Amino acid sequence: MERTTIAKEVEAEVNSMTTDRCIDIIRLSPMLRFFETGLSNEGVMPHSPTVHNVLESFSLLWSPRPGLVDQVLSSLTLPRLHTLNLDLVRDHDKNIIEDFLHRSAAPITSMELQFEQVRNERDLRVFQAIAALTPSLSHLRILYDDGPVDDGISCFNNSIFKYLVDSGKPKADNPSYLPPLPQLKSLTYSAARVVTKVWIPLELLPGLFPVSTSASGVPSLRPLKSLFTPGSFHPQKGYLRSLIPLRQAGIDFGKERNEDIDRIAARTVGVDNEDHMSSGRSSRPLS
């Protein structure tokens, strides 16, 4: 892009660029509101962060080398940001991400984070730090890169999911407890290219939601009532049957999954009715 063209840009989408070019485009585009790119290589960065008071949506969707995302975030302050999407598959510094969020203090409501499946604890610590600094977040997408395979089935990473469940529970010793991400309403939890029958463990799932069912125990403090798992999961009928009480309580699992659960629920009711009628006939006295 020429400098005169950049200055007028409101939206920019570029497949890949160096880190310094990324900062230059933001710095030279005062009207820029939406920016999406991948990072190809490092560059010479400015000594102080670039402040952009208009940018609302920022996506770093591809970063093949460690440290590239860190280099960009350490050079930016984005106080108007509403949407943030980051590729965190490669090595990243939790402190740099925290500093960026602290410095920007932006009202982020939508976020996509991509992690590598094989790293549990480090990515969990990064996610915890991000969650603590994004209290306005209402829509979250967690996307895992390809993970390890055991007997042809992906070993899906559930550490972040478990954290969301556990941290959403009320604290008996702290009645005023407010969980991280207190406004979270929608969660997408998926894997980039892995097709697996191993879904989120059933014992974890009910505790994610602010509803009470026979299996859920204490309802979550978060208003989260939508969970989407597009493409990656193909749970069997027994698993889907266990989700019927959650669907009946108003939980949204996405159009296709909802239809599967509702279909099984209808069949279950039909079978129960047939059993009841058969029972009535068998107990009728002989004339």
Output the pLDDT for position 9. 81
Q: Where are the beta strands (DSSP E) in 72-225?
A: 76-77, 83-87, 110-115, 139-144, 149-150, 153-154, 186-191
N- to C-terminal Cα distance for the chain?
A: 92
CATH match for 3-281 among 1.10.540, 3.30.70, 3.80.10, 2.30.29: 3.80.10
**Token pair for residue 187?**
């969660």
Domain ranges of the chain: 3-281
Query: Which pairing describes strands 110-115 and 57-62: parallel, antiparallel, or unpaired?
Result: unpaired
Residues in the chain, total: 287
pLDDT digits (tens, 9 = 90+) for 161-208: 999 999 999 999 999 999 999 999 999 988 765 555 556 788 888 999
Q: Cβ neighbours of residue 278 under 8 Å, at least 6 residues apart?
A: none
CB 85 within 8 A of CB 33: no
Query: Which pairing describes strands 76-77 and 110-115: parallel, antiparallel, or unpaired?
Result: unpaired
pTM of the model: 0.86
H/E element, 124: helix 121-132
> In the Cβ-directed half-sphere of 115, how many Cα atoms lie within 13 Å?
22
Residues paired with 34 in a beta bridge: 11, 57
User: Helix, strand or coil for residue 108?
Assistant: coil
- The closest alpha carbon to 198, from 172, 236, 250, belongs to 236
User: Which portions of the chain are predicted below pLDDT 50?
Assistant: 1-4, 151-154, 271-277, 286-287
